[in-house]
A and B are shown apart, each in its own frame.
Chain A
């Protein structure tokens, strides 16, 4: 188990999923790949295929339209898999929570109402440093618990 945990914490490959975000968070996620932040230092890759990825990084409010696709992508990933919610919209609905009276008619209250979330990165949008910090906290969690 020790070797597995070490390897898992050293190379979490990330799949970025946009559920209808305003592109603010997405630009910040992509900015973590740039020379200034260089997320590959931690062995992290941004992968295109859910089959290759370990971490599902979700940005944007979870609309009713995207719910099925999000769950399908999550189910296509291989175990062990982790979920990171990036940005206020994804964590709680953000500006879309409580639009209208009570719950919103088209946006879910947050990602954790659908999927088991392992790490939250708040912000609108969060800085790239915050996203890297979120992933390193997730890595720490992988190393200590699973």
Chain B
């Protein structure tokens, strides 16, 4: 019985299948809202309201011819998309969906999450570098520049949460918020803002879509990928979007916990999780809709001149708050 329930948790809910379907849903929400902000309609004819559009894209790419450029480093080039998907699906399991803790939970899983984010950037660099083609190389270089700028504020804002609750375990942070109030109400509000800006950069979305700026460098580090490798990369990026918004909801909005009668917790908690995560996604998409791309020098200056001092200030505020 225990084996069956843990297999169910790992593969179906809240495991791989749930997160993959969620990633398709997120892409749809993202595209629809982005289109609405430009007074367009967005995907409409594929399924009801275009809901199946991401799935159609995925199937089409899976079925297309799989090209490997002649001069690419074939081993790395072919394995990066798989590694990206595997990394994202693994790190997803620490997210609490139906209770205080996720499928796997251990002391220090917050650090595991941070490490996975950094590793994802390194995989992007490898993807661009192994293509051995000018545009992917430029894109990879820019991705690493983005990593140098925004990884530190991201880590410091997460550190603020950890200091406030006195733990580096996701489930402990969630249960601390359940008894002390959400992190966003308090000194973490600044950290929440920094976190949102930093994940926007980590996800390479519009104000910071420098690594895959279409008008400048074709498709950045993804330029040489086609067919099922591109499908896997797109899926990994959607999973990253789900992961980042779910992490924001977990760290700042109390995770899946909320008011519910004891007998309805099994249904209410996943619903709360979805509501909070989609709320974060809407904020991210609105940011994407109202900004234009910044230049590289503006991005670096913004990260190092404003975001990093602000995140240090936020950690200091949290420490003072805790001492009082």
Interface residues of A (CB under 8 A from B): 3-4, 6-8, 10-11, 35, 38, 40-43, 47-49, 51-52, 54, 76, 78-80
Contact = CB atoms under 8 A, between A and B. Distances in A.
A38 B57 CA distance: 18
Q: Which of A43, A78, A79 has the most CB of B within 10 A?
A: A43
Contacts of A10: 45-46, 52-53, 56, 60
A40 B56 contact: no
A11 B47 CA distance: 12
A3 B223 CA distance: 26
22 contacts: A7-B57, A7-B63, A10-B45, A10-B52, A10-B56, A35-B39, A35-B40, A38-B41, A41-B42, A41-B44, A41-B45, A43-B45, A43-B46, A43-B50, A43-B56, A47-B219, A48-B214, A49-B135, A52-B219, A54-B64, A76-B67, A78-B227
Given A7-B60, A48-B218, 15 more contacts: A3-B59, A6-B59, A38-B35, A40-B43, A43-B57, A47-B219, A51-B224, A51-B226, A52-B219, A52-B222, A52-B225, A52-B230, A78-B65, A79-B65, A80-B65
Contact of B53 (A3, A43, A76): A43
Contacts of B64: 54, 78-80
Contacts of A76: 67
B79 interface: no
B6 interface: no
Nearest to A42: B45
Contacts of A41: 41-45, 50
Interface in B48-79: 50, 52-53, 55-60, 63-67
Contacts of A4: 59-60, 63
Interface string B204-234: 0000000000100011001111110010000
Nearest to B215: A48
A107 to B, nearest CB: 28
Nearest to A41: B44
A48 B224 CA distance: 11
